[in-house]
Structure formats: structure tokens, C-alpha cells
Amino acid sequence: MSTMKHPSPHSSPVVTFTIDELSTPVRGLAGNENDRISMHAIGHNESYSGVPADKIRENIRIGHMRQVARIAESLKAVPEGNGTMFDNTMIMYFHEGGETHHGHGTEAPFVILSGKNCNLNLAGRYIRLPYHATAGRKTIGNWYPTLLNAHGNPIKHYGDFDLVMSRLKLDQSGAIKQFMS
């Protein structure tokens, strides 16, 4: 776990942590109670005790979301200002495994829990951006500028542009407008 304070007057302390990574052995999953599961192996569709890799990945994501829920509930129990610590928090969950270890990124959900004082328009919404190679599509190259712009550190784009989107002359720059407050 690491903690850092941003110098911007618009930002709050940030804590980042990793639930697991490819080298983390997973134990105690339903149907795999006695297995020592390799995240890397299930990324290559290896099964354990007859449980297929996609079901194991699902069970891991469920376990991760339970941990995230515990964090959110803990933050909601801590008074801060006129509300709770969660009111001034944004929790972002990005499962590093996606649909497979060497995936295409088509099934790599981002789950964002935000308190009422979040600088982004996210609270209480399910958002699915347009599909790849479609007008309005945004990428992680837009997500990071969205976060930075909302917290007083404006940048236009992060990383490389998507080649298919470039060939179709679809705009890929800037923050994700639907998320800006």
C-alpha cells in the first residue's frame, strides 16, 4: 500500500493498493478450497479441481468486490466534516486480469465508487461508453486526463491514440465529458 499527498489545492490524500497480482496465489475459493491457484495459469485458461478458468476468474472478482465493499462500509462509518470519510473518497477497482491473462481488454471492467463530494459526475450511475470504433468511444487515454482535469491538473491526453480510431478519424482527445461535474 502506498499513500501520497497531491500538491494541488483541489486534491485530497490518495491511497493506492493492490488486491493481488499475477504472482499472488489465490486460496479458499468456492470449489477450489484446497487449491493454490496461480493467477497466471488461469489467465492461460488452466482449470483447477475441475473448475474452469472463467469461473475461477469470476470467483476472484467476487472476492475482490467483497473487499472493496468492506472498505467502502468502513469509510462510511468514519465521521468527517458534515458527512463521512466516504463522502470525500473515490474508490476505483480495475481487475488486472480482464477476460484472460493476455486478453484483448474487451472484458476489463472499471468499478468506481464515489462519495457525494467527488469532483466527477459518477455517483449512483452505471455508465457504458460506446463500443470500439464508434463515435464517442473513449479509452484509458481519456480516463486519466478526466481524473487529472477534475482535480486541477489539466492534460489533453494520456498515452498513444488507438490506431483504428485514428484511421476512422474519431476524436480521442480530452476528458470524458459525461464524467465532468
Whole-angstrom CA distances from 127 to 64, 96, 122 are 20, 20, 8
What's the grid cell of residue 52?
474452469
User: How many C-beta atoms lie closer than 10 Å to residue 154's C-beta?
Assistant: 11
Torsion of CA 154, 159, 160, 161, to 10 degrees: -40
Ranges under pLDDT 70 in the chain: 1-16, 95-109
What pLDDT shows up at residue 51?
A: 96
Closest alpha carbon to 61 in 90, 105, 26: 26
| pTM, 2 dp | 0.73
- CA-CA distance, 172 to 177, in Å (whole number)? 12
Residue 73, pLDDT score: 95
Task: Compute the distance between CA of residue 175 and CA of residue 133 in angstroms, rounded to an integer.
Answer: 18
In this structure, which amino acid lies at residue 147? L
Q: Whole-angstrom Cα distance, residue 46 to residue 35?
A: 13
The angle subtended at Cα 114 by Cα 156 and Cα 54, nearest 5°, is 90
